[in-house]
Chains A and B, each alone.
Chain A
Amino acid sequence: MRKFVFFGGKGGVGKTTVSSAYAYKCANAGLRTLVVSTDPAHSTSDVFDQQFDDSPKPVDGIENLDAMELDPEEEVSRHLQGIKRSLSSQVSPAMVNEIDRQVEMAHQTPGAYEAALFDRFVDVMRESDEYDRVVFDTSPTGGTLRLLSLPEFLEGWAERLLAKRKQSVRLFERAAIGGREPRRMREGDPVIAQLEERRDRFALAGELLREEAAFFLVVNPDELSIRETKRAISSLDDATLDVRGLVVNKLTPEPDDDENGRGARFLRERVRTERERLNTLREEFDKPVVAEIVTRIAEVKGDLLVEVAAEIDVEVRPEPVE
């Protein structure tokens, strides 16, 4: 299995349960594992009955396992503070307010949250040297997919901005005929430097996601979830990301044959329709079903987590990076 493993899917299908169980499985096999929750609802804390924050913390009672919860909100304000600091050292007091307004505005746009989350993603992946496996419990499908298709888009964007900036600087240099001081110079232009750094960062993120990450989609045996999964797979495929399989969660348990009460009849009926949907999943999707997890009576944690972990048939051993 690759170093970075992502679990995605529709809201409420049990991504947190599955990713925690898989992380447990990896840790149990002796791999240094980090489980990262990017869902703003943050239910990792509930699974392990322990509060986590923005930096990795060991999980009590489980060896080799660390957990962290990303907080984009905090990242946004950190970013904002950073810019404001360099504003006050660079910009004349007369212009600070003007520019400050622009900076504030940029941090309230709808994309800011995603951008911040993306930054944290890349940070975690870059600083994960001490771990053998990093498991990402992602936020519901739409957001995450947009997030993961970002690098290419952003890289292209930074590239185009860079080209424009270089072009105008070149013209300014050319306009300086007869030994005049050009208005802007290529040499040491902080804007070009900044844009280049961004571009490289996006390129790195794209590379890590394509080469070292594996994706799993958690799906429930119901119509909506299946349809959303289909869409998710096609957009992940489009972004040339590696979707390794489907984890079917929340299957209904089958009653014993001799039971014939109302509850048993209901369950039998339910199991029948679910079996049909499972077949659809098997036949219509070209990704293998790697786990079938039956609904538990209680919340999945503690011993139940161990049980669920055993049901996930996903390779644990690290793969050599080609």
Chain B
Amino acid sequence: MTLAERIAAFRDIAEEWLRGLYHGLINHPAYEKIENEAEDIEDAFMLACFPDAFGIPSPVSYYTAELLPYLEDEFEAWERRMWDRGSLLERKGSQYHF
């Protein structure tokens, strides 16, 4: 193996590691954070639409019921999140990778 080849092989490995590190440290937590934020807003949206799921009467749930057929996944995930969530702090805390 010539010197040039060895250098090229080393650079390949270094590049793969760097990409992995970048993804793990920067990229992945970033979109996860954004996605979590989006979920939080979606939770607020769902709560505004269907407060009667938690026993709060709403004058508009008659209208928002029209949205339900399109909110299948959201609705299920939302209910699960709402019932499971220990506290807001816990949810916010889990967004950070310690």
Task: List chain A positions with a Cβ less than 8 A from chain B.
Answer: 76, 79, 83, 86-87, 89-92, 95, 98-99, 102-103, 105-107, 109-112, 114-116, 154, 157-158, 160-161, 164-165, 167-169, 171-172, 174-178, 180, 183, 190-191, 194-195, 198
Check A106–B38 contact: CB distance below 8 A. no
Interface residues of chain A: helix, strand, loop or mixed (majority): helix
A86: contacting residue among B41, B49, B69, CB under 8 A? B69
Check A171–B38 contact: CB distance below 8 A. yes
Check A154–B71 contact: CB distance below 8 A. no
Check B62–A112 contact: CB distance below 8 A. yes
Q: What separation, in Å, do the CA atoms of A180 and B49 have in the docked complex?
A: 29
Given A92-B72, A98-B75, A183-B35, answer yes or no on A107-B65 (Cβ-Cβ < 8 Å). yes
Check B41–A114 contact: CB distance below 8 A. no
Check A157–B35 contact: CB distance below 8 A. no
Given the complex, which residues of A lie within 8 Å of B95, measured CB to CB? none
Smallest CB–CB gap between B50 and chain A, Å?
6
Q: What separation, in Å, do the CA atoms of A169 and B53 have in the docked complex?
A: 23
Residue of B nearest to A180 (CB): B31
A sample of 22 inter-chain contacts (CB < 8 A) reads A76-B62, A90-B70, A95-B72, A98-B75, A99-B69, A102-B52, A105-B61, A106-B50, A109-B57, A111-B57, A111-B61, A115-B60, A167-B41, A168-B42, A171-B34, A175-B38, A178-B27, A183-B35, A183-B38, A190-B70, A191-B71, A195-B67
Check B63–A198 contact: CB distance below 8 A. yes
Smallest CB–CB gap between A205 and chain B, Å?
13
Whether B44 is near chain A, meaning CB under 8 Å from some CB there, is yes
Given the complex, which residues of A lie within 8 Å of B79, measured CB to CB? 98
Given the complex, which residues of A lie within 8 Å of B72, measured CB to CB? 90-92, 95, 99
A91: contacting residue among B30, B49, B53, B69, CB under 8 A? B69
Check A175–B76 contact: CB distance below 8 A. no
Given A87-B69, A161-B45, answer yes or no on A106-B35 (Cβ-Cβ < 8 Å). no
Smallest CB–CB gap between B46 and chain A, Å?
9
Q: What separation, in Å, do the CA atoms of A154 and B64 have in the docked complex?
A: 11
Supplied contacts A115-B60, A168-B42, 5 more A-B pairs, CB within 8 Å: A105-B61, A160-B48, A164-B44, A171-B38, A172-B35
Query: Interface size class for chain B?
Result: 35 or more
Task: List chain B positions with a Cβ less than 8 A from chain A.
Answer: 27, 30-32, 34-35, 37-39, 41-42, 44-45, 48-50, 52-53, 57-72, 75-76, 79
Check B65–A83 contact: CB distance below 8 A. yes
Check B59–A171 contact: CB distance below 8 A. no
Given the complex, which residues of B lie within 8 Å of A169, measured CB to CB? 38
Given the complex, which residues of A lie within 8 Å of B71, measured CB to CB? 191
Residue of A nearest to B23 (CB): A178
Check B62–A157 contact: CB distance below 8 A. no
Check A168–B41 contact: CB distance below 8 A. yes
Residue of A nearest to B35 (CB): A175
B58: contacting residue among A99, A103, A111, CB under 8 A? A111
Smallest CB–CB gap between B66 and chain A, Å?
6
Given the complex, which residues of A lie within 8 Å of B76, measured CB to CB? 95, 98
Given A102-B53, A168-B42, answer yes or no on A111-B62 (Cβ-Cβ < 8 Å). yes
Check A87–B68 contact: CB distance below 8 A. yes
Residue of A nearest to B53 (CB): A102
Smallest CB–CB gap between B61 and chain A, Å?
4
Smallest CB–CB gap between A174 and chain B, Å?
5
B31: contacting residue among A95, A165, A177, CB under 8 A? A177
Residue of B nearest to A108 (CB): B52
Check A194–B70 contact: CB distance below 8 A. yes
Given the complex, which residues of A lie within 8 Å of B66, measured CB to CB? 83, 194, 198
Check B31–A103 contact: CB distance below 8 A. no
Check B27–A177 contact: CB distance below 8 A. yes
Residue of A nearest to B30 (CB): A177
